């Protein structure tokens, strides 16, 4: 079986999947990821994951996995901060409150004349402690916020900011691993192979 095409440049998604034995080939999708005016967060991540998958699904007999993650609070989409000031503003918005991390994923593939398509969506509630200006400034200076939805990485320094997580922790990192592996196995796509006790 050919390796799973991962339509993402995220090193975190690649690491999560490879850690459990999924054979991958990384092929990032080049699409416009800007939210549309008034687009709700759930619709946004679902559209981006779908568009990423279709942009890469041009290889007969090969399965494609695409995903998109965003942070949302008060109905607003907090994507990747472009500057340190923008990152600080996001962290002030999240400080002392509960927000949601949402990941949508799309799996597409074909076998002969049959085409398979699976969409999934996972939301995790994250409770963040109150952050003072000094803590925010120090975190922004670390640079860890770059390339991260919501301007923080739970697997890094920002773990010290998170009081509680309700739902999938790997979703907050960038990929709801259990749900994705279940979906891959259900459609017959390449999935975990005897890793971490997970049956293939």
pLDDT digits (tens, 9 = 90+) for 85-137: 999 999 999 999 999 999 999 999 865 555 678 899 999 999 999 999 999 99
pTM: 0.90
Which tokens belong to 52? 């990423």
Q: For the chain, list the domains and their CATH numbers.
A: 4-187 (3.90.950.10)
Within 10 A of 195 (CB to CB), how many other CB atoms are there? Answer: 15
What is the spatial distance between Cα 72 and Cα 180, in angstroms, rounded to a whole number? 21
Which tokens belong to 65? 């996995």
Within 10 A of 79 (CB to CB), how many other CB atoms are there? Answer: 22
Q: Identify the active-site residue in 30, 34, 51, 68.
A: 68
What is the spatial distance between Cα 200 and Cα 181, in angstroms, rounded to a whole number? 9
Report which of residues 82 and 2 the model is more confident about: 82
pLDDT digits (tens, 9 = 90+) for 25-56: 999 998 999 999 999 999 999 999 999 998 98
Active site residue 32: no
* 81, 90 Cβ separation under 8 angstroms: yes
């Amino acid at each position: 079986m050919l390796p799973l095409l991962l339509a993402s440049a995220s090193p975190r998604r690649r690491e999560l999947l490879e850690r459990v034995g999924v054979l991958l080939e990384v092929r990032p999708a080049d699409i416009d990821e800007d939210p549309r005016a008034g687009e709700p967060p759930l619709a946004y991540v679902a559209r981006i994951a779908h568009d990423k998958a279709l942009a890469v699904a041009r290889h007969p007999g090969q399965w494609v996995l695409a995903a998109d993650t965003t942070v949302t609070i008060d109905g607003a989409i907090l994507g990747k901060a472009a500057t340190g000031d923008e990152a600080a503003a996001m962290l002030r918005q999240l400080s002392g409150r509960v927000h949601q991390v949402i990941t949508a994923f799309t799996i597409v593939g074909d076998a002969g004349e049959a085409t398979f398509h699976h969409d999934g969506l996972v939301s995790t509630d994250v409770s963040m402690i109150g952050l003072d200006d000094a803590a925010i400034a120090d975190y922004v200076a670390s640079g860890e916020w770059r390339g991260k939805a919501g301007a923080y990485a739970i697997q890094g320094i920002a773990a010290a900011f998170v009081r509680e997580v309700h739902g999938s922790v790997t979703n907050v990192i960038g990929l709801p691993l259990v749900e994705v592996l279940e979906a891959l196995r259900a459609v017959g796509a390449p999935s975990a192979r005897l890793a971490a006790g997970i049956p293939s």
